[in-house]
Structure 1
Amino acid sequence: MTGFGRAVGEVEGLTVTVEMKSVNHRFSEISVRMSRQFLTIEDKIKKVISKSLHRGRIEVFISVEGDSLTDRTVRVDWSLLDQYMKALTDVKEKYSLSDTIKMDHLLKNEDVIHVEESANHSEHVEEKIIQVVQNATEQLVIMRNAEGEQLGKDLNIKLKQLLEHTEQLEQYAPSVVKHYHDKVHKRLQEFVSGTIDENRLIQEAAIFADKVDISEELIRIRSHIRQFSEALLQKGAVGRKLDFLVQELNREANTIGSKANDSEIAKIVVELKSIIEKLKEQVQNIE
């Protein structure tokens, strides 16, 4: 979900510049920084962006520059100036001062004379800002799409690896019960001098087989891998769906790990979880 977009436009002697950058975030968060005089259109700006970007932390910087952006007016507080003049005259008379009252004595005070600025823009300026925001958003989307193509290739490689380990588990898992059967049979021979109760042995092996059966987990892992692969081909926002699938993959791997009473299965589960963790990290980059 990382990307950068920039666009520039001109209207009524003003230059509008919009820069946008996005970084990974679980949800959608849009932050807009611009002059206070344009805050009335902030919601419109966010709606334009959210139509194309559904996930990620997006920072938007908008600048509008030009001499016609504001009107400047010189304001004189005549009432306050009259009071200053009277006060200076009274001080001069009271203390018999010979100094001449000059203009700078009166006008250097910012409370007496100051410049006021007022916003000076039409609806055309606001419309241009929205348009430039749209253009910057499109540029950001292009960059994110290019990154997404590379990310998709990497994810498909990891899905293939995940499927290979799943197939290893499918092939190896049935032998676990046989190993257990042989192990129990051997131990019984060591402690029992007579014949072994085969029915009892078969019953114990069956109970063990039920406890370590991971066929359902493997079926669900295959299903999650298929759904994950299909989601990568879909248009629109799929990041949250992939988040969910990664969580489910991790859940199944943990269940297999808890059921496994075999070192070889435990090794494969470690590899599974390593790949799933990498998937989880990459999915954070997908909208």
Structure 2
Amino acid sequence: MIQSMTGYGKAVVTYKEKKINVELKSLNSKALDLSTRIAPLYREKEMEIRQTIAGVLVRGKIDFSIWVEKDAGSEALPINSQLIENYYRQIKSISERIGVPEPADWFASLLRMPDVMAKNDAEELCEEEWAAVKDAVDKAICQLLTFRIQEGEALESKFTEKIDNIEALLKQLEPYEKLRVEKIRSRIIEGLSNIPEVEYDKNRLEQELIYYIEKLDISEEKQRLANHLKYFRETMGEKAGQGKKLGFIAQEMGREINTTGSKSNNAEMQNIVVKMKDELEQIKEQVLNAL
């Protein structure tokens, strides 16, 4: 089954006063290209997070983010009242000693002094909180995988439609191919008959016609293209992760279609080949999104 490389997943868990958000975005890329934005408390687990993502998502340009929202009450830093009183006494003493006016707004001035807003002790990540975060990471990955599968189903439907169209166009070549041989034969014989006093060996003419027509024969190209179309269908049914393989098959399909066009030597056949190229180009554009 095809999976798309495009996907999105998000999970939110609550731990005490924290609301922990985990978000994953994925786009197409030739290899795994993972960038992370992780809240400082969880950075020690970055390698573990990367290994988890790489083991499941395999390929794609992936943006991973963890950020924390806290309750409004928990965001307020405590004010160091003892330090404020100390600053007040020192400023008042200096003002009296050197004759400098005291601040007009004492409170605003004191709150701007260093270390007045006391910082909390550095947080440490406990096992319980990490378990909650890891659960959110797993849920976000699972959600992104579900998104990829849904997008992959749409891709598979699109590919099937385009392969059907190319197969139908391939069959449309047959009647023109047969008529082309007769037209070539008639045109050459007519040209020779219009040249006066020319004698030619009919057996030799037949040999040359056969040689010329064989050079324009597209039977092998048609057979190889049919095989590639069948192989493309079979590959779509294999396990996820066949995007590169589908791209290679599409390239081989393009070679056979191009060769068929160069050998066609017939306006109607070349028009059909152009339609086949258009269908294949749409496959090539979308196969870049396949995992």
**TM-score bucket (shorter structure):** 0.7 to 0.9
2:110 aligned with 1:116 = no
Residues 247-286 of structure 1 mapped to structure 2, 5 A cutoff? 247-286=251-290
| Contact 1:4–1:22, Cα closer than 8 Å, also in 2 | yes
Shift of 1:103: 7.3
| Contact 2:162–2:279, Cα closer than 8 Å, also in 1 | yes
Closer, same or farther: CA 35–71 of 1 in aligned 2, 3 Å = farther
Closer, same or farther: CA 71–91 of 1 in aligned 2, 3 Å = closer
Equivalent of residue 56 in structure 1, options 53, 60, 67: 60
| Equivalent residue letter for 2:277 | K
Count, aligned residues:
283
| Contact 1:177–1:205, Cα closer than 8 Å, also in 2 | no
| Contact 2:92–2:102, Cα closer than 8 Å, also in 1 | no
| Farther-moved stretch of structure 1 (115-124 vs 104-113) | 104-113
Aligned residue for 2:65, secondary structure, equals strand
Per-residue deviation, residues 110-154 of structure 1 (Å, max 9, x unmatched): 435443352332133223222211111112222222232233223
2:235 aligned with 1:226 = no
Shift of 1:182: 1.6
Residues 42-121 of structure 1 mapped to structure 2, 5 A cutoff? 42-66=46-70, 93=97, 96-97=99-100, 107-111=110-114, 113-117=116-120, 118-121=122-125
Shift of 1:227: 1.1
Q: Structure 2: how far apart are the matches of 1:110 and 1:229?
A: 72
| Contact 1:74–1:113, Cα closer than 8 Å, also in 2 | yes
Per-residue deviation, residues 11-58 of structure 1 (Å, max 9, x unmatched): 355332223233334433333223133223223223222333233333
- Unaligned 5+ segments in structure 2 are none
Partner of 2:25: 21
Q: Percent identity between the aligned chains?
A: 30
| Farther-moved stretch of structure 1 (62-71 vs 178-187) | 62-71
2:128 aligned with 1:162 = no
| Equivalent residue letter for 1:53 | L
- Unaligned 5+ segments in structure 1 are none
| Farther-moved stretch of structure 1 (226-235 vs 171-180) | 171-180
Q: Structure 2: how far apart are the matches of 1:136 and 1:99?
A: 57
User: TM-score if structure 1 supplies the norm length?
Assistant: 0.81
| Equivalent residue letter for 1:278 | Q
Per-residue deviation, residues 209-252 of structure 1 (Å, max 9, x unmatched): 24323222222211211111011111221111111111221122
| Equivalent residue letter for 2:20 | V
Equivalent of residue 207 in structure 2, options 203, 207, 223: 203
Q: Structure 1: how far apart are the matches of 2:44 and 2:108?
A: 42
Equivalent of residue 40 in structure 1, options 20, 44, 52: 44
| Higher RCO by CA contacts (8 Å cutoff, separation 6 or greater) | 2
User: TM-score if structure 2 supplies the norm length?
Assistant: 0.80
Q: Structure 1: how far apart are the matches of 2:26 and 2:248?
A: 22
Partner of 1:139: 143
| Farther-moved stretch of structure 1 (106-115 vs 23-32) | 106-115
| Contact 1:189–1:196, Cα closer than 8 Å, also in 2 | no
Aligned residue for 2:114, secondary structure, equals coil
| Contact 2:77–2:117, Cα closer than 8 Å, also in 1 | no
| Contact 1:14–1:65, Cα closer than 8 Å, also in 2 | yes
Aligned residue for 1:22, secondary structure, equals strand
Equivalent of residue 6 in structure 1, options 4, 10, 21: 10
Q: Structure 1: how far apart are the matches of 2:246 and 2:35?
A: 26
CA RMSD of aligned residues (A): 3.4
Equivalent of residue 215 in structure 1, options 210, 213, 219: 219
Q: Structure 1: how far apart are the matches of 2:26 and 2:263?
A: 42
Per-residue deviation, residues 162-216 of structure 1 (Å, max 9, x unmatched): 1122223355435433322221111011014354322332233233224323222
Closer, same or farther: CA 63–87 of 1 in aligned 2, 3 Å = closer
Closer, same or farther: CA 161–199 of 1 in aligned 2, 3 Å = same
